Structure 1
Amino acid sequence: MIEKVLSLLERFIANERLSVQELKQLRKWMENSENMTLVNKWMESHWEKAHEIESKVVFEEILKKIDRQSFLRKNEPFLNSKWVKYFQRVAAILILPVIIVSSFYYLSTQTLKVQYSEAIVPNGQKSEIILPDSTHIWLNSGTRLRYPVAFGKGNREVFLYGEAYFEVSKNKHQPFIVNTSKLAVKVLGTKFNVKAYPDDKTIETALLEGKINLMIQSVSGKNKVLEMTPGEMINYSAKDSSIAKSGFIKDDVIGWKNNRLVFRDDTFNNLTKKIERWYNVEIIYDKTLFEDQRLTVELLEGESIERLFQIIEKAINVDYRIDKQKIYINPKMKNK
């Protein structure tokens, strides 16, 4: 099954004709967060093959292939020329793995439905996009964002799996809604950060400017609405539906947007998750040996993973070994 779907993705990128059913199957598979790792690996292998080619050049070639396929399928819903021109405008600020998947489109039935595009950022990468309404979004490592090709007359809705920082353009007639697995953020125009990785225990929302309403799903079907004010952070636990409010340090929350990796009294488990996403590595260690460890570290832009582990080694007295994309951590042996 997996080989078949990856084959469909490769055929689509290669501009081979896919049936409507095949396109729906590909979309359904890619929407499953459990397949994120496989998608990342597929894109990374293609990225390595294309690393000597400028992303803009590659993207323009993909657009040409999409145009040709569109010409052959005039009677089917497709990305319009206005959106193609929009993609050309923002192509320079998108990395190749995001560009490839953002070109994927959703074919609905003959009835008119909203068409979506999807940006996928692999571990070890970051990106930013500008939506048709001029909303600016920064995407952190290991993130997927699904958004409409064009906004209609209703709400402006996007779907987030991972972490993103939003600067939403103001429109009092069309609220902007960020949907996650367990809650939604509703705004008119503001700046905020949402961290909602599928494998995290909590969903974190931090408001920098303006006002937002946090709409939390409940078992009864009624949403609980919390109004947030600037400087406030809310951590929501999906496990027990608990809510924790606090303030926050700006650089701790959105430092990643400026390529700065920050740990502030982080548990060792949270620390390793951030490192894995940031550097696209796998960290192997015995969790039971590090349950009580916490660490505060702030890395400047461009710091290597080697430098980070030199700091960790001295801070919590561990040995580490880096073997390609795997890092092994063990407590230092005490001298007899």
Structure 2
Amino acid sequence: MKYDAYSTEDFLKDEFFVKSVLNPNYETDHFWKSWTDNHPNKMEEFTRAQQLVRSLEYETMEKPVQEDYVRVFENVLKYNKKLPQQNNKHFFGRDWSSWKGMSKIAASVAMLLLAGWLWYGNGLNNLLPSEFENSTLVTKVSPYGQKTTVKLPDGTMVVLNSGSTLKYKKEFDDSFRKVELTGEAIFDVVKDPARPFTVHSGTLSTTVLGTFFNVRAYNDESQIRVSLAKGKVVVNNTGQTNQLNNYYLEPGQEVTYHKVKKTIEKRKFDIDQVFAWNKGIIVFESVRMKTVLKELERWYGVSFKVTGESQEWNYTGKFEKQSLENVLRNLSFSQRFEFTIENKEVEIKF
């Protein structure tokens, strides 16, 4: 990894490092903790770079003027005075007391200030870049009536349910593994403690190290669900403000985000039911006709036309590897309707 040979000066010039210090989150905190644990010999350089970046006070930065560059250089000098005398001779492997050494550090920090000015123009709330900005994206689509298995660059296996889309970089970064999901998918994530794996689905972000879980986030549904079968995950709700927005899940737990109410709840769930679709099993539990037909549209790749008057009903049932005709025949017995199937169109008559 490129950070293994970094000096303090290298850290100061690294955009990802600077943004991690100024705008930390779960992913960046985990990454740097893991890296420093594995590189204790680099802790001194790492800590010095952190302190120098924080001394610039980016959070309240306004457009820099000449006095700002003077202040940066003064910060470097003040920081030098705070260093133990025995360390002064070997900072960066150079003579720290020399003007050449100081000027290099000052120049690096001044570059950070200038970078901060540019970031400020885009808003301080957007210090971290978009997950897929300026990158080569791969888009996998699982059309209605199909299930699609995708192998990601790190070996992680993803099974996309019908009507689902997955986006990811052609090659993952050294720091993170991030994907974007619309629809439903099961993730079997390869363990990589140095690179957390994050699934972005609507306002929820699910971060794991190595685990097996299901995410359901269709655009036309009122809920987003993250259900954990094994391992551990943390779900972050970016749609909440001024609230605790990290939800840690154990196996058998899930979080459900309600889009309209903008609320989230954590609870236990039936693993067999949630993961049934990957085994060719459709499960309905007290759901309305509209929900049943929408699920059948995705599952079999058909469209429905409903005629006649029907009373609203809630249906509970399970179908294992059944044809659409068999499913509709069973439904028609209990809900009393007739149906015809012609190519990819189904008409239901009450």
TM range (shorter): 0.5 to 0.7
- Check conservation: 1:284, 1:328, Cα contact below 8 A: yes
Residues 198 and 288 of structure 1: CA distance in aligned 2, closer, same or farther (over 3 Å): farther
Counterpart residue number, 1:101: none
Counterpart residue number, 1:309: 328
Aligned partner (choices 266, 279, 295) of residue 315 of structure 2: 295
What is the correspondence of 1:189-200 to structure 2 with a 5 Å cutoff? 189-200=210-221
Percent identity between matched residues is: 30
Secondary structure, aligned partner of 2:171 = coil
- Pairing 1:168–2:189 present: yes
Counterpart residue number, 1:8: none
What is the total number of aligned residue pairs between the two structures? Answer: 218
- Pairing 1:205–2:226 present: yes
Counterpart residue number, 2:341: 322
Deviation, 1:316, is 1.8
> Which amino acid in structure 2 is aligned with residue 297 of structure 1?
G
Q: Which protein has the larger Cα radius of gyration, Structure 1 or Structure 2?
A: 2
Residues in 1 aligned to 2:224 and 2:138: alpha-carbon distance in whole angstroms: 24
- Check conservation: 1:184, 1:215, Cα contact below 8 A: yes
Runs of 5+ consecutive residues of structure 2 not aligned to the other structure: 1-132
- Check conservation: 1:215, 1:223, Cα contact below 8 A: no
> Which amino acid in structure 1 is aligned with residue 349 of structure 2?
N
Counterpart residue number, 1:248: 269
Deviation, 1:159, is 0.4
Residues in 1 aligned to 2:267 and 2:306: alpha-carbon distance in whole angstroms: 31
Residues in 2 aligned to 1:287 and 1:244: alpha-carbon distance in whole angstroms: 38
What is the correspondence of 1:42-81 to structure 2 with a 5 Å cutoff? none
Residues 148 and 213 of structure 1: CA distance in aligned 2, closer, same or farther (over 3 Å): same
Deviation, 1:219, is 5.8
Residues in 2 aligned to 1:219 and 1:209: alpha-carbon distance in whole angstroms: 26
Counterpart residue number, 2:251: 230
When you count helix as a share of all residues, which structure comes out higher?
2
CA displacement 1:97-119 (0-9 Å, x = unmatched)? xxxxxxxxxxxxxxx94321110
Counterpart residue number, 1:277: 298
CA displacement 1:149-198 (0-9 Å, x = unmatched)? 11111210000011000011111111100001221111111110001011
> Which amino acid in structure 1 is aligned with residue 318 of structure 2?
E
Counterpart residue number, 2:29: none
Secondary structure, aligned partner of 1:285 = strand
> Which amino acid in structure 1 is aligned with residue 280 of structure 2?
N
Residues in 1 aligned to 2:244 and 2:140: alpha-carbon distance in whole angstroms: 28
TM-score under structure 1 normalisation?
0.61
Residues 317 and 193 of structure 1: CA distance in aligned 2, closer, same or farther (over 3 Å): same
Counterpart residue number, 2:122: none
Secondary structure, aligned partner of 2:275 = helix
Residues 244 and 222 of structure 1: CA distance in aligned 2, closer, same or farther (over 3 Å): closer
TM-score under structure 2 normalisation?
0.58
Residues in 1 aligned to 2:175 and 2:145: alpha-carbon distance in whole angstroms: 35
- Check conservation: 2:303, 2:345, Cα contact below 8 A: yes
Deviation, 1:221, is 8.3
Residues in 1 aligned to 2:345 and 2:147: alpha-carbon distance in whole angstroms: 21
Secondary structure, aligned partner of 1:276 = helix
- Check conservation: 1:217, 1:223, Cα contact below 8 A: no
CA RMSD in angstroms comes to 2.1
- Check conservation: 1:263, 1:271, Cα contact below 8 A: yes
Runs of 5+ consecutive residues of structure 1 not aligned to the other structure: 1-111, 332-336
Secondary structure, aligned partner of 1:252 = helix
- Check conservation: 1:161, 1:196, Cα contact below 8 A: yes
> Which amino acid in structure 1 is aligned with residue 297 of structure 2?
E
CA displacement 1:183-233 (0-9 Å, x = unmatched)? 111111111000101111111111100111111123648771111111012
